[in-house]
Amino acid sequence: MRILVTGGCGYIGSILVPKLLGLGHEVIAFDIQWFGNYLADQPNLTVVQGDIRDIDSVPMEGVNAIIHLANVANDPCGDLNSKLVWEVNALGTMQLLEKAIENGVEKFLLASSGSVYGIKDEDQVTEELSLVPISDYNKTKMISERVLLSYKDKIDIFSIRPATVCGYSPRMRLDVAVNLLTMQALTKGEITVLGGNQTRPNVHIQDITDIFIHFLGKGGEFAGIYNAGFENISIMDIAEMVKEQIGAEIIVKPSNDPRSYRLNSDKLLATGFSPKHSVLDGIKDVVAAYNDKKLFDEERYYNIKTMKTLDICKN
């Protein structure tokens, strides 16, 4: 299969692309590379540096499936430039889908977000619940999903709503909860918890990449929206797990972030997928990479810090 992975050089893409190649697929990794490129040269891999807003630059010839990871990720980065996040996440997604249909692409897999639900009190947040997105980032994900589903009669649409991803990747992110708290403990001997009572769903990076591969092998009867999060844990409980591994002190400070939600992923599990990794594995992955000197606490691993250096996000 010939697969286009947008955002293929990113945090998830840097794990997913080698897996796809290992399965014998031909992969085009299309990425703007704001955060660099950590993909090694391999047979059947083509890396293209480009911007999905320039839809004519996106290669599509012979592509059977698209895994659309490219986006301006997380709330703080979206807040830097509202126009940018809407152009990339919403308009860019629509243009990519329309070009895919024109070129006979069979499947379109979107990396949406579990944060589209907003603040929910329900213990089981299923795909049927209403979406109440708070930030521009959340809103663009919701709109992207609705645009894609309007084309579902022309192409198989799989919209995956990942929980917060954790674990090590060559293109690391240290601005997501588990990775962030683990790095704080390793480098400072302290873990700063803002609030702590907020519950967040989590998914290991090895599992979320396997989920995309799982749906590549599924027919159109499985097309639809799927939550992808298997451990709903409070921020404080994550900090306690990190403390057990590293022995750091936990410092609690007030938080102005009210988001708290739990994902139910029974619909995904019913398709035959079984997660194999945990939050604890994610913590251990980060610790191991740090101890092996494969990972350091560097600004390039925090999306917001890198985005602020880009001309497009400067005031």
DSSP per-residue codes, 72-92: --SHHHHHH-HHHHIIIIIIH
Instruction: Please write the tens of the pLDDT for every residue from 200-226.
Output: 899 999 999 999 999 999 999 999 999
Q: 81 pLDDT band (50/70/90 cuts)?
A: confident
Category of 296 on φ-ψ map: left (φ > 0), alpha (ψ -120 to 50) or beta: beta
Under 8 Å between Cβ of 206 and 277: yes
DSSP H helices in 103-232: 136-149, 177-188, 205-216
Residue 310 has pLDDT above 90, yes or no: no
Domain that holds residue 88: 2-313
Instruction: Please write the tens of the pLDDT for every residue from 97-153.
Output: 999 999 999 999 999 999 899 888 888 899 999 999 888 999 999 999 999 999 999
Bridge-based pairing of strands 190-194 and 156-162 is unpaired
Average pLDDT for 270-298? 98
3 state DSSP class of 233: strand
Give the residue from 190, 70, 64 showing the smallest Cα distance to 140.
70
Q: Which residue has the tokens 């794990």?
A: 15
Name the domain count of the chain. Answer: 1
**Rounded Cα–Cα distance for residues 109 and 256 (Å):** 33
Number of neighbours of residue 70 by Cβ within 10 angstroms = 27
Phi, psi of 216 (to 5 degrees): -60, -30
- Note the pTM of the prediction, 2 decimals: 0.96
The CATH number of the domain where 170 resides is what?
3.40.50.720
Under 8 Å between Cβ of 119 and 259: yes
Under 8 Å between Cβ of 185 and 179: no
Q: 35 pLDDT band (50/70/90 cuts)?
A: very high
DSSP string, 284-299: HHHHHHHHTTS----G
Q: Which residue has the tokens 């992975």?
A: 5
Give the residue from 274, 198, 272 showing the smallest Cα distance to 230.
274
H/E stretch holding 307: helix 303-307
